[in-house]
Amino acid sequence: MLDFKEDPHWHADCNLLGMNTGNPHSSQVGMDRKITTKSRKPLLIGGAVAAVGGLLAIVFFTDTSTSFTLDGQRIRTAEVSIGMYEDYIPLRANVEPEKTVYLDAIEGGRVEAILVEEGAFVEEGQPLIDLSNTSLQLDVIAREAEVSEQLNNLRNTQLAIEQNRLKLKGDLIEIDYQIIRLTRLVNRYEELEGSQFISRTDYENSNDELEYWKKRRVVTEESQAQDEVVRFAQIEQLNSSVSQLEKNLTLARGNLDNLLIRAPRAGQLTSMNAEIGESKSRGERLGQIDDVDRFKATALVNEFYLNRVRIGQQAQLEINGRDHLLEVSKIYPEVQASQFEVDLRFVGDAPADIRRGQTLQLRLVLGDSNERAVLLASGPFFNDTGGAWVFVLGPDRKTATRRPVQLGRRNPSMIEVDGGLVAGDEVIISSYANFIEVERLFIDQ
Protein backbone atom coordinates (compact mmCIF):
# COMPACT_ATOMS: atom_id res chain seq x y z
CA MET A 1 0.00 0.00 0.00
CA LEU A 2 1.31 3.40 -0.94
CA ASP A 3 2.06 5.92 1.78
CA PHE A 4 1.04 9.28 0.42
CA LYS A 5 2.71 11.09 3.30
CA GLU A 6 6.13 10.06 2.01
CA ASP A 7 5.52 11.78 -1.30
CA PRO A 8 7.29 15.21 -1.21
CA HIS A 9 4.77 16.66 -3.66
CA TRP A 10 1.96 15.64 -1.34
CA HIS A 11 3.63 17.48 1.54
CA ALA A 12 4.07 20.58 -0.52
CA ASP A 13 0.40 20.71 -1.50
CA CYS A 14 -0.62 20.24 2.07
CA ASN A 15 1.64 23.04 3.21
CA LEU A 16 0.01 25.40 0.78
CA LEU A 17 -3.39 24.55 2.22
CA GLY A 18 -2.19 24.90 5.81
CA MET A 19 -2.76 21.23 6.61
CA ASN A 20 -0.91 19.38 9.29
CA THR A 21 0.82 16.50 7.62
CA GLY A 22 2.55 15.22 10.67
CA ASN A 23 5.77 17.03 9.84
CA PRO A 24 6.92 19.06 12.82
CA HIS A 25 8.36 21.66 10.56
CA SER A 26 5.12 22.36 8.83
CA SER A 27 2.83 23.00 11.76
CA GLN A 28 4.22 26.39 12.43
CA VAL A 29 3.74 27.52 8.93
CA GLY A 30 0.06 26.54 8.96
CA MET A 31 -0.59 28.50 12.09
CA ASP A 32 1.21 31.69 10.97
CA ARG A 33 -0.60 31.90 7.49
CA LYS A 34 -4.30 33.07 7.15
CA ILE A 35 -6.36 31.36 4.46
CA THR A 36 -9.03 33.46 2.68
CA THR A 37 -11.98 32.07 0.63
CA LYS A 38 -12.84 33.97 -2.61
CA SER A 39 -16.47 34.55 -3.78
CA ARG A 40 -17.77 31.91 -6.38
CA LYS A 41 -20.67 34.02 -7.72
CA PRO A 42 -18.82 35.54 -10.75
CA LEU A 43 -17.83 32.03 -11.89
CA LEU A 44 -21.46 30.82 -11.90
CA ILE A 45 -22.66 33.83 -13.91
CA GLY A 46 -19.93 33.36 -16.49
CA GLY A 47 -20.78 29.66 -16.92
CA ALA A 48 -24.47 30.43 -17.47
CA VAL A 49 -23.67 33.06 -20.12
CA ALA A 50 -21.40 30.62 -21.92
CA ALA A 51 -24.09 27.89 -21.90
CA VAL A 52 -26.75 30.22 -23.33
CA GLY A 53 -24.38 31.39 -26.03
CA GLY A 54 -23.62 27.81 -26.98
CA LEU A 55 -27.29 26.95 -27.30
CA LEU A 56 -27.92 29.99 -29.48
CA ALA A 57 -25.03 29.04 -31.70
CA ILE A 58 -26.37 25.51 -32.08
CA VAL A 59 -29.84 26.79 -32.98
CA PHE A 60 -28.46 29.36 -35.42
CA PHE A 61 -25.94 27.18 -37.23
CA THR A 62 -27.82 23.85 -37.17
CA ASP A 63 -30.42 22.88 -39.91
CA THR A 64 -33.63 22.02 -38.08
CA SER A 65 -35.13 20.06 -41.05
CA THR A 66 -34.99 16.25 -41.10
CA SER A 67 -32.02 14.75 -42.87
CA PHE A 68 -30.61 11.39 -43.84
CA THR A 69 -27.13 10.16 -44.68
CA LEU A 70 -26.72 7.49 -47.31
CA ASP A 71 -24.00 5.80 -49.29
CA GLY A 72 -23.36 7.51 -52.62
CA GLN A 73 -22.62 4.16 -54.24
CA ARG A 74 -26.19 2.96 -53.59
CA ILE A 75 -28.03 5.72 -55.45
CA ARG A 76 -28.64 6.28 -59.13
CA THR A 77 -28.81 9.78 -60.60
CA ALA A 78 -29.68 11.34 -63.94
CA GLU A 79 -29.14 14.77 -65.40
CA VAL A 80 -32.04 16.80 -66.75
CA SER A 81 -31.58 17.44 -70.46
CA ILE A 82 -33.27 18.87 -73.56
CA GLY A 83 -34.22 16.45 -76.30
CA MET A 84 -36.88 14.57 -78.26
CA TYR A 85 -39.74 13.09 -76.23
CA GLU A 86 -41.72 10.25 -77.82
CA ASP A 87 -45.03 9.54 -76.11
CA TYR A 88 -45.41 5.75 -76.32
CA ILE A 89 -45.72 2.64 -74.20
CA PRO A 90 -44.41 -0.84 -75.04
CA LEU A 91 -46.96 -3.60 -75.49
CA ARG A 92 -46.53 -7.36 -75.53
CA ALA A 93 -49.24 -8.60 -77.88
CA ASN A 94 -50.42 -12.01 -79.04
CA VAL A 95 -51.47 -12.79 -82.61
CA GLU A 96 -55.05 -14.01 -83.04
CA PRO A 97 -57.35 -14.40 -86.05
CA GLU A 98 -59.28 -11.23 -86.77
CA LYS A 99 -62.51 -13.21 -87.03
CA THR A 100 -63.34 -16.37 -85.11
CA VAL A 101 -66.62 -18.29 -85.41
CA TYR A 102 -67.58 -20.67 -82.61
CA LEU A 103 -69.48 -23.88 -83.17
CA ASP A 104 -72.18 -24.52 -80.56
CA ALA A 105 -74.75 -27.28 -80.31
CA ILE A 106 -78.06 -25.56 -81.11
CA GLU A 107 -79.86 -28.73 -80.10
CA GLY A 108 -78.26 -31.25 -77.75
CA GLY A 109 -77.69 -34.81 -78.79
CA ARG A 110 -75.36 -37.76 -79.14
CA VAL A 111 -72.35 -37.49 -81.45
CA GLU A 112 -72.94 -40.00 -84.22
CA ALA A 113 -70.17 -39.00 -86.63
CA ILE A 114 -67.28 -36.53 -86.95
CA LEU A 115 -67.01 -35.64 -90.60
CA VAL A 116 -63.93 -33.33 -90.56
CA GLU A 117 -60.67 -33.60 -88.66
CA GLU A 118 -59.35 -30.80 -86.45
CA GLY A 119 -57.00 -28.43 -88.30
CA ALA A 120 -58.63 -28.94 -91.70
CA PHE A 121 -59.77 -26.08 -93.91
CA VAL A 122 -63.53 -26.09 -94.46
CA GLU A 123 -65.97 -24.35 -96.78
CA GLU A 124 -69.13 -22.52 -95.77
CA GLY A 125 -72.01 -24.96 -95.24
CA GLN A 126 -69.78 -28.04 -95.11
CA PRO A 127 -71.10 -30.74 -92.67
CA LEU A 128 -68.82 -31.16 -89.65
CA ILE A 129 -70.60 -33.17 -86.93
CA ASP A 130 -73.71 -35.34 -87.04
CA LEU A 131 -75.81 -35.52 -83.86
CA SER A 132 -78.85 -37.62 -83.02
CA ASN A 133 -81.67 -36.79 -80.61
CA THR A 134 -84.51 -39.32 -80.35
CA SER A 135 -86.62 -37.14 -78.06
CA LEU A 136 -86.36 -34.23 -80.47
CA GLN A 137 -87.29 -36.43 -83.42
CA LEU A 138 -90.39 -37.78 -81.62
CA ASP A 139 -91.33 -34.28 -80.56
CA VAL A 140 -91.08 -33.02 -84.11
CA ILE A 141 -93.20 -35.92 -85.38
CA ALA A 142 -95.86 -35.20 -82.75
CA ARG A 143 -95.78 -31.51 -83.60
CA GLU A 144 -96.14 -32.26 -87.30
CA ALA A 145 -99.22 -34.35 -86.55
CA GLU A 146 -100.67 -31.61 -84.38
CA VAL A 147 -100.01 -28.95 -86.96
CA SER A 148 -101.53 -31.11 -89.69
CA GLU A 149 -104.66 -31.66 -87.57
CA GLN A 150 -104.98 -27.96 -86.91
CA LEU A 151 -104.53 -27.20 -90.57
CA ASN A 152 -107.31 -29.66 -91.42
CA ASN A 153 -109.61 -28.12 -88.81
CA LEU A 154 -108.94 -24.66 -90.15
CA ARG A 155 -109.58 -25.73 -93.72
CA ASN A 156 -112.81 -27.45 -92.65
CA THR A 157 -113.92 -24.29 -90.92
CA GLN A 158 -113.06 -22.26 -93.98
CA LEU A 159 -115.03 -24.72 -96.12
CA ALA A 160 -118.05 -24.46 -93.80
CA ILE A 161 -117.98 -20.68 -94.05
CA GLU A 162 -117.85 -20.89 -97.83
CA GLN A 163 -120.73 -23.39 -97.88
CA ASN A 164 -122.83 -21.10 -95.68
CA ARG A 165 -122.11 -18.25 -98.08
CA LEU A 166 -123.26 -20.33 -101.01
CA LYS A 167 -126.42 -21.41 -99.14
CA LEU A 168 -127.35 -17.77 -98.47
CA LYS A 169 -126.76 -17.02 -102.10
CA GLY A 170 -129.01 -19.93 -103.06
CA ASP A 171 -131.72 -18.70 -100.68
CA LEU A 172 -131.69 -15.31 -102.38
CA ILE A 173 -132.03 -16.97 -105.77
CA GLU A 174 -135.02 -18.96 -104.50
CA ILE A 175 -136.62 -15.86 -102.97
CA ASP A 176 -136.14 -13.86 -106.15
CA TYR A 177 -137.73 -16.64 -108.16
CA GLN A 178 -140.78 -16.74 -105.87
CA ILE A 179 -141.15 -12.97 -105.99
CA ILE A 180 -141.03 -12.96 -109.80
CA ARG A 181 -143.54 -15.82 -110.06
CA LEU A 182 -145.97 -14.31 -107.58
CA THR A 183 -145.66 -10.85 -109.06
CA ARG A 184 -146.78 -12.22 -112.46
CA LEU A 185 -149.61 -14.15 -110.84
CA VAL A 186 -150.90 -11.16 -108.89
CA ASN A 187 -150.74 -8.99 -112.00
CA ARG A 188 -152.75 -11.59 -113.92
CA TYR A 189 -155.29 -11.80 -111.12
CA GLU A 190 -155.69 -8.05 -111.16
CA GLU A 191 -156.48 -8.13 -114.87
CA LEU A 192 -159.07 -10.85 -114.37
CA GLU A 193 -160.56 -9.34 -111.23
CA GLY A 194 -164.40 -9.21 -111.41
CA SER A 195 -164.70 -12.02 -113.94
CA GLN A 196 -165.92 -15.51 -113.24
CA PHE A 197 -162.50 -17.03 -113.90
CA ILE A 198 -160.86 -16.07 -110.56
CA SER A 199 -162.01 -15.99 -107.00
CA ARG A 200 -161.29 -13.28 -104.53
CA THR A 201 -159.61 -15.73 -102.21
CA ASP A 202 -157.02 -16.84 -104.76
CA TYR A 203 -156.16 -13.25 -105.49
CA GLU A 204 -155.67 -12.35 -101.83
CA ASN A 205 -153.62 -15.48 -101.12
CA SER A 206 -151.30 -14.78 -103.99
CA ASN A 207 -150.89 -11.17 -102.92
CA ASP A 208 -150.10 -12.17 -99.31
CA GLU A 209 -147.55 -14.74 -100.44
CA LEU A 210 -145.82 -12.12 -102.60
CA GLU A 211 -145.49 -9.76 -99.64
CA TYR A 212 -144.09 -12.60 -97.54
CA TRP A 213 -141.30 -13.35 -100.00
CA LYS A 214 -140.47 -9.68 -100.36
CA LYS A 215 -140.04 -9.31 -96.59
CA ARG A 216 -138.08 -12.51 -96.43
CA ARG A 217 -135.70 -11.21 -99.08
CA VAL A 218 -134.97 -8.08 -97.00
CA VAL A 219 -134.16 -10.21 -93.97
CA THR A 220 -132.04 -12.59 -96.06
CA GLU A 221 -130.06 -9.68 -97.54
CA GLU A 222 -129.36 -8.27 -94.08
CA SER A 223 -128.25 -11.71 -92.88
CA GLN A 224 -126.05 -12.16 -95.92
CA ALA A 225 -124.42 -8.75 -95.43
CA GLN A 226 -123.72 -9.50 -91.76
CA ASP A 227 -122.36 -12.94 -92.59
CA GLU A 228 -120.16 -11.40 -95.28
CA VAL A 229 -118.46 -9.12 -92.71
CA VAL A 230 -117.96 -11.99 -90.28
CA ARG A 231 -116.79 -14.25 -93.06
CA PHE A 232 -114.08 -11.86 -94.22
CA ALA A 233 -112.82 -11.45 -90.63
CA GLN A 234 -112.82 -15.19 -90.03
CA ILE A 235 -111.05 -15.93 -93.30
CA GLU A 236 -108.35 -13.34 -92.55
CA GLN A 237 -107.84 -14.72 -89.05
CA LEU A 238 -107.76 -18.29 -90.32
CA ASN A 239 -105.22 -17.45 -92.99
CA SER A 240 -103.01 -15.83 -90.36
CA SER A 241 -103.34 -18.87 -88.10
CA VAL A 242 -102.52 -21.22 -90.93
CA SER A 243 -99.45 -19.18 -91.82
CA GLN A 244 -98.24 -19.20 -88.21
CA LEU A 245 -98.77 -22.94 -87.86
CA GLU A 246 -96.86 -23.58 -91.05
CA LYS A 247 -94.00 -21.47 -89.72
CA ASN A 248 -94.00 -23.47 -86.49
CA LEU A 249 -93.90 -26.65 -88.51
CA THR A 250 -90.98 -25.34 -90.55
CA LEU A 251 -89.18 -24.38 -87.34
CA ALA A 252 -89.78 -27.81 -85.84
CA ARG A 253 -88.37 -29.45 -88.95
CA GLY A 254 -85.42 -27.04 -88.83
CA ASN A 255 -84.57 -28.26 -85.33
CA LEU A 256 -83.91 -31.64 -86.84
CA ASP A 257 -81.66 -30.03 -89.43
CA ASN A 258 -79.68 -28.39 -86.60
CA LEU A 259 -78.54 -31.82 -85.49
CA LEU A 260 -76.18 -31.74 -88.46
CA ILE A 261 -73.52 -29.17 -87.50
CA ARG A 262 -72.33 -27.23 -90.57
CA ALA A 263 -69.52 -24.69 -91.04
CA PRO A 264 -71.04 -21.18 -90.82
CA ARG A 265 -68.15 -19.76 -92.84
CA ALA A 266 -64.98 -20.79 -94.61
CA GLY A 267 -61.77 -21.05 -92.60
CA GLN A 268 -59.61 -23.39 -90.56
CA LEU A 269 -61.18 -25.70 -88.00
CA THR A 270 -58.68 -24.91 -85.24
CA SER A 271 -60.41 -26.85 -82.46
CA MET A 272 -62.85 -29.75 -82.21
CA ASN A 273 -64.33 -30.68 -78.86
CA ALA A 274 -66.34 -33.78 -79.72
CA GLU A 275 -65.91 -37.55 -79.63
CA ILE A 276 -68.12 -40.22 -81.20
CA GLY A 277 -70.68 -41.46 -78.70
CA GLU A 278 -70.35 -38.37 -76.48
CA SER A 279 -73.51 -36.55 -75.40
CA LYS A 280 -73.61 -32.80 -75.94
CA SER A 281 -75.97 -30.39 -74.20
CA ARG A 282 -77.80 -27.58 -75.92
CA GLY A 283 -75.49 -24.57 -76.32
CA GLU A 284 -72.30 -26.53 -75.53
CA ARG A 285 -69.13 -25.43 -77.37
CA LEU A 286 -68.08 -27.93 -80.06
CA GLY A 287 -65.20 -26.10 -81.74
CA GLN A 288 -64.19 -22.97 -83.61
CA ILE A 289 -63.29 -21.84 -87.12
CA ASP A 290 -60.63 -19.14 -87.60
CA ASP A 291 -60.17 -16.79 -90.51
CA VAL A 292 -56.55 -17.44 -91.46
CA ASP A 293 -56.43 -14.62 -94.02
CA ARG A 294 -56.66 -11.76 -91.50
CA PHE A 295 -55.00 -11.46 -88.10
CA LYS A 296 -55.21 -9.09 -85.15
CA ALA A 297 -53.12 -8.52 -82.02
CA THR A 298 -54.43 -8.50 -78.46
CA ALA A 299 -52.50 -6.90 -75.60
CA LEU A 300 -52.87 -6.05 -71.91
CA VAL A 301 -52.30 -2.41 -70.88
CA ASN A 302 -51.69 -1.03 -67.40
CA GLU A 303 -54.78 0.68 -65.98
CA PHE A 304 -52.69 3.87 -65.53
CA TYR A 305 -53.18 4.48 -69.27
CA LEU A 306 -56.92 3.71 -69.33
CA ASN A 307 -57.86 7.34 -70.00
CA ARG A 308 -55.14 7.81 -72.62
CA VAL A 309 -55.82 4.89 -74.92
CA ARG A 310 -58.28 5.65 -77.72
CA ILE A 311 -59.78 3.84 -80.71
CA GLY A 312 -57.65 4.52 -83.79
CA GLN A 313 -54.33 5.11 -81.99
CA GLN A 314 -51.44 3.61 -83.92
CA ALA A 315 -48.87 1.07 -82.83
CA GLN A 316 -45.54 0.33 -84.49
CA LEU A 317 -44.16 -3.16 -85.12
CA GLU A 318 -40.74 -4.10 -86.43
CA ILE A 319 -40.39 -7.71 -87.53
CA ASN A 320 -37.83 -9.28 -89.82
CA GLY A 321 -36.36 -5.85 -90.56
CA ARG A 322 -39.65 -4.40 -91.83
CA ASP A 323 -41.95 -1.88 -90.18
CA HIS A 324 -45.68 -2.54 -89.89
CA LEU A 325 -48.48 -0.35 -88.60
CA LEU A 326 -51.42 -1.36 -86.40
CA GLU A 327 -54.25 0.61 -84.85
CA VAL A 328 -56.43 0.13 -81.79
CA SER A 329 -59.74 -1.34 -82.96
CA LYS A 330 -61.42 -2.25 -79.67
CA ILE A 331 -60.97 -1.42 -75.97
CA TYR A 332 -62.40 -3.77 -73.35
CA PRO A 333 -63.56 -1.68 -70.35
CA GLU A 334 -63.18 -4.43 -67.76
CA VAL A 335 -60.05 -4.10 -65.59
CA GLN A 336 -58.51 -7.23 -64.09
CA ALA A 337 -55.27 -7.42 -62.10
CA SER A 338 -54.69 -3.69 -62.80
CA GLN A 339 -54.79 -4.28 -66.57
CA PHE A 340 -57.28 -3.91 -69.40
CA GLU A 341 -57.30 -5.54 -72.83
CA VAL A 342 -57.17 -3.94 -76.28
CA ASP A 343 -57.45 -5.31 -79.81
CA LEU A 344 -55.24 -3.96 -82.60
CA ARG A 345 -55.73 -4.65 -86.30
CA PHE A 346 -53.10 -4.38 -88.99
CA VAL A 347 -53.22 -1.36 -91.27
CA GLY A 348 -52.60 -2.89 -94.66
CA ASP A 349 -51.22 -6.38 -95.04
CA ALA A 350 -50.02 -8.29 -92.00
CA PRO A 351 -46.55 -9.89 -92.01
CA ALA A 352 -46.63 -12.97 -94.19
CA ASP A 353 -44.99 -15.31 -91.71
CA ILE A 354 -46.89 -14.58 -88.48
CA ARG A 355 -48.88 -17.36 -86.87
CA ARG A 356 -51.71 -17.67 -84.39
CA GLY A 357 -50.37 -17.40 -80.81
CA GLN A 358 -47.14 -15.62 -81.82
CA THR A 359 -45.88 -12.85 -79.48
CA LEU A 360 -45.19 -9.36 -80.88
CA GLN A 361 -43.39 -6.40 -79.31
CA LEU A 362 -45.28 -3.18 -80.13
CA ARG A 363 -44.88 0.53 -79.43
CA LEU A 364 -48.29 2.12 -78.88
CA VAL A 365 -48.13 5.85 -79.66
CA LEU A 366 -50.23 7.82 -77.15
CA GLY A 367 -49.54 11.39 -78.32
CA ASP A 368 -47.45 13.72 -80.43
CA SER A 369 -43.67 13.94 -80.05
CA ASN A 370 -41.93 17.01 -78.61
CA GLU A 371 -38.58 17.86 -80.16
CA ARG A 372 -37.55 20.40 -77.48
CA ALA A 373 -38.77 18.75 -74.29
CA VAL A 374 -37.16 18.97 -70.84
CA LEU A 375 -36.41 15.33 -70.06
CA LEU A 376 -35.64 13.31 -66.96
CA ALA A 377 -34.79 9.63 -67.01
CA SER A 378 -37.50 7.41 -65.57
CA GLY A 379 -36.81 5.51 -62.35
CA PRO A 380 -38.29 3.97 -59.20
CA PHE A 381 -38.59 7.40 -57.54
CA PHE A 382 -41.74 8.13 -59.56
CA ASN A 383 -43.68 5.38 -57.81
CA ASP A 384 -42.60 6.74 -54.40
CA THR A 385 -43.46 10.40 -55.00
CA GLY A 386 -46.09 10.22 -57.70
CA GLY A 387 -44.07 12.78 -59.62
CA ALA A 388 -44.79 15.53 -57.07
CA TRP A 389 -41.19 16.09 -55.88
CA VAL A 390 -37.61 14.89 -56.32
CA PHE A 391 -34.21 15.09 -54.61
CA VAL A 392 -31.84 17.39 -56.51
CA LEU A 393 -28.09 17.12 -55.90
CA GLY A 394 -26.12 20.19 -54.93
CA PRO A 395 -23.11 21.41 -56.93
CA ASP A 396 -20.71 19.56 -54.60
CA ARG A 397 -22.75 16.33 -54.96
CA LYS A 398 -22.51 15.89 -51.18
CA THR A 399 -26.07 16.99 -50.39
CA ALA A 400 -29.46 16.68 -52.03
CA THR A 401 -32.52 18.76 -51.25
CA ARG A 402 -36.19 18.00 -51.74
CA ARG A 403 -37.76 20.07 -54.53
CA PRO A 404 -41.39 20.13 -55.77
CA VAL A 405 -41.73 19.52 -59.52
CA GLN A 406 -44.39 19.17 -62.19
CA LEU A 407 -43.92 16.04 -64.30
CA GLY A 408 -46.03 15.35 -67.37
CA ARG A 409 -46.09 12.51 -69.84
CA ARG A 410 -43.76 9.57 -69.47
CA ASN A 411 -42.65 6.60 -71.49
CA PRO A 412 -40.62 3.59 -70.30
CA SER A 413 -37.32 5.51 -70.41
CA MET A 414 -38.08 9.24 -70.13
CA ILE A 415 -40.37 11.64 -68.27
CA GLU A 416 -41.40 15.00 -69.71
CA VAL A 417 -40.75 17.80 -67.16
CA ASP A 418 -43.35 20.57 -67.08
CA GLY A 419 -41.82 22.61 -64.26
CA GLY A 420 -39.49 22.65 -61.25
CA LEU A 421 -36.34 21.47 -63.04
CA VAL A 422 -34.03 22.92 -65.66
CA ALA A 423 -31.46 21.37 -67.94
CA GLY A 424 -28.31 20.48 -65.99
CA ASP A 425 -30.03 19.63 -62.70
CA GLU A 426 -28.91 16.27 -61.36
CA VAL A 427 -31.70 14.26 -59.79
CA ILE A 428 -31.69 11.07 -57.75
CA ILE A 429 -33.88 8.61 -59.72
CA SER A 430 -33.45 5.50 -57.58
CA SER A 431 -35.98 4.50 -54.91
CA TYR A 432 -36.88 6.96 -52.13
CA ALA A 433 -38.50 4.31 -49.95
CA ASN A 434 -35.94 4.56 -47.09
CA PHE A 435 -35.95 8.35 -46.81
CA ILE A 436 -39.28 9.47 -48.20
CA GLU A 437 -40.08 11.66 -45.15
CA VAL A 438 -36.79 13.64 -45.02
CA GLU A 439 -36.04 17.05 -46.48
CA ARG A 440 -32.29 16.80 -47.04
CA LEU A 441 -29.85 14.05 -47.88
CA PHE A 442 -26.16 13.92 -47.04
CA ILE A 443 -24.23 11.87 -49.57
CA ASP A 444 -21.35 9.84 -48.19
CA GLN A 445 -18.82 9.60 -50.99
pLDDT tens figures, 266-322: 888 888 888 898 898 888 999 899 887 788 999 999 998 888 899 999 999 988 888
pTM: 0.50
Sign of the dihedral defined by the CA atoms of residues 194, 199, 201, 207, in that order: negative
Is the separation of the CB atoms in 76 and 381 below 8 Å? Answer: no
User: Which pLDDT value is given to residue 46?
Assistant: 58
Phi, psi of 127, deg, nearest 5 = -65, 135
Q: Cα(first)–Cα(last) distance of the chain, in Å?
A: 55
Mean pLDDT split into 10-residue runs, the chain, 445 residues: 40 40 41 43 57 48 63 88 91 89 88 90 91 86 80 81 85 90 86 69 85 90 83 78 79 84 88 89 89 87 90 90 90 92 89 85 89 92 92 91 92 91 94 90 85
Position 415, amino acid:
I
Is the separation of the CB atoms in 265 and 294 below 8 Å? Answer: no
User: Which pLDDT value is given to residue 426?
Assistant: 94
B/e letters for 66-88, b = 16+ CB within 10 Å, e = fewer, are eeeebeeeebebbebeeeebbbb
User: Which pLDDT value is given to residue 315?
Assistant: 92
Is the separation of the CB atoms in 336 and 323 below 8 Å? Answer: no
Can you tell me whether residue 2 is helix, strand or coil?
coil
Distance from C-alpha of 101 to C-alpha of 271, rounded to nearest angstrom? 11
In this structure, the strands spanning 440-444 and 81-85 are unpaired
